Amino acid sequence: MAKLSVLNSKGEKVKDITLKKEVFGIEPNDAVLYDAITLTRNSLRQGTHDTKTRSEVSGGGRKPWRQKGTGRARQGSIRAAQWYHGGIVFGPHPRSYDKKMNRKERRLALKSALSYKQINKELIITESFNVESVKTKDMVSMLNTLGAKKNILIVVEELTENLILATRNLKNVILLQVDEINTYDVIASDTMIITETAVKQLEEVLI
């Protein structure tokens, strides 16, 4: 079981917390992680792309010239695929990109992502994440104090209005309530900040 420091808003160590091995200390399963990321990315695709086949392109109802005697290759329609403005062969058509994963795989993927965060030392645990100010610059200062870098994921037990207002203009910050946490956002972040209470709630759900 891994031990991590619990920090306050000033970046000072308050105490240590022991993380459950079953959630933050498993051997990550890369295959399931890949499937979970693919599922999330696929769900963002509309699948409305479409091209017209030769039967859907307007025109081309008449044979352009007779079959024999012209010296040219035989042609049945000026809307065949080899013609300019002709139909498209094997082009995309509307489809669903939905991918299915069972519940055990989803949980394993999330635990793998959380374990990677702990292994790579990209996990910061805070005593709480309450902010009195709604100013973006104050939030930036707090994140810098905690040592968060690049793309940041903040997970709290409950969203407050001040926290939402303070982070909404930061493009590199994603704010989630603990029951909204997902594999893709965990993997996509360079630093994950989570409150001590949210850690305990996660462990209760995932064990």
Residues 41 and 91 sit within 8 Å (Cβ to Cβ): no
Report the C-alpha gap between 144 and 124 in whole angstroms.
Answer: 12
* pLDDT tier for residue 1 given thresholds of 50, 70 and 90: low
Residue 31 to residues 24, 41, 115, 159, 164, Cα–Cα distance (Å): 18, 16, 15, 33, 34
| pLDDT digits 0-9 by tens, 65-102 | 999 999 999 999 999 999 999 999 999 999 999 999 99
Distance CA 206, CA 107 (A): 7
Neighbours of 161 (CB within 10 A): 8
Q: How many residues appear in the chain?
A: 207
Q: pLDDT averaged over the chain?
A: 93
The residues pairing with 12 across neighbouring beta strands, listed in sequence order, are none
* Domains defined along the chain, listed by start: 3-30+102-206 (3.40.1370.10), 46-96 (no CATH)
Question: pLDDT category, 132, cuts 50, 70, 90?
Answer: confident
What distance in Å separates the CA atoms of residue 202 and residue 47, rounded to the nearest whole number? Answer: 34
The tokens describing 16, both together, are 């240590």
pLDDT digits (tens, 9 = 90+) for 174-205: 999 999 999 999 999 999 999 999 999 999 99
